[in-house]
Amino acid sequence: MVGAPSSPVVNVYPLANYTFGTKEAKMEKDTSVADRLARMKVNYMKEGMRTSVEAILLVQEHNHPHILLLQIGNTFCKLPGGRLKPGESEIEGLKRKLCSKLAVNSPSFPPNWQVGECVAEWWRPNFETVMYPYCPPHITKPKECKKLFIVHLTEREYFAVPRNLKLLAVPLFELYDNVQRYGPVISTIPQQLSRFQFNMVSS
């Protein structure tokens, strides 16, 4: 009898291992959801379906996994990442976005982003806020495909966060099923990570 395949292992290091600084503010391109959807529509007419990539960065506190989220203002949280350029690969695009959002602008601190597995795909059928973890069968021209990747952190990293944003470490138990606070994409990350085995590395 063939044994079941083992779960992929993710090393998770203590939050205290990491150093956090600041860098110049990175302003959002849109001031409202309506503006964002309007810009998406313009870009769709020029380039076709939007493809975006986002990173799941894991740390641990009290032996429980936490995910690093960027907070804009007092309420809105998002994963670091963003839209791919035309012809850009998912891995290179995600590394570029992570450098833009979280890396120090210095050759003394070269980032070492280790992009791992894609754990989820979300689809935006129309120019609306709602996204689904599948493309509805009647939709032949979806407007966006968003992919979430685990990015493996090394034991020590230096993060530089834009001054107008906050970087939060949010425990999985707070994210789980908390659609009202975090939205459907982020609140289902605990389920998507359930097939992984977390190796909690002490400092």
Tally of domains within the chain: 1
Please state the rounded mean pLDDT for residues 67-89: 93
Instruction: Assess if residue 24 is contained within a domain.
Output: yes
> pLDDT tens-digit profile of 2-60?
555 678 999 999 999 999 999 999 877 777 888 889 999 999 999 999 999 999 999 99
Domain CATH for 94: 3.90.79.10
pLDDT of the residue at 154:
93
In this structure, are strands 50-61 and 64-72 parallel, antiparallel, or unpaired?
Answer: antiparallel
Instruction: Assess if residue 36 is contained within a domain.
Output: yes
Identify which of 166, 171, 201, 164 has the alpha carbon closest to the alpha carbon of residue 78.
166
Instruction: Assess if residue 2 is contained within a domain.
Output: no
DSSP assignments along 64-90, one per residue: EEEEEEEEETTTEEE-SEEEPPTT--H
Amino acid identity at 58: L
Residue length, the chain? 203
CA 190/CA 66 separation, integer angstroms = 10
Instruction: Assess if residue 152 is contained within a domain.
Output: yes
Identify which of 147, 12, 8 has the alpha carbon closest to the alpha carbon of residue 66.
12
User: What residue numbers bound the domain in which 25 lies?
Assistant: 9-200
Instruction: Assess if residue 3 is contained within a domain.
Output: no
> pLDDT tens-digit profile of 80-139?
999 999 999 999 999 999 999 999 887 777 788 999 999 999 999 999 999 999 999 999
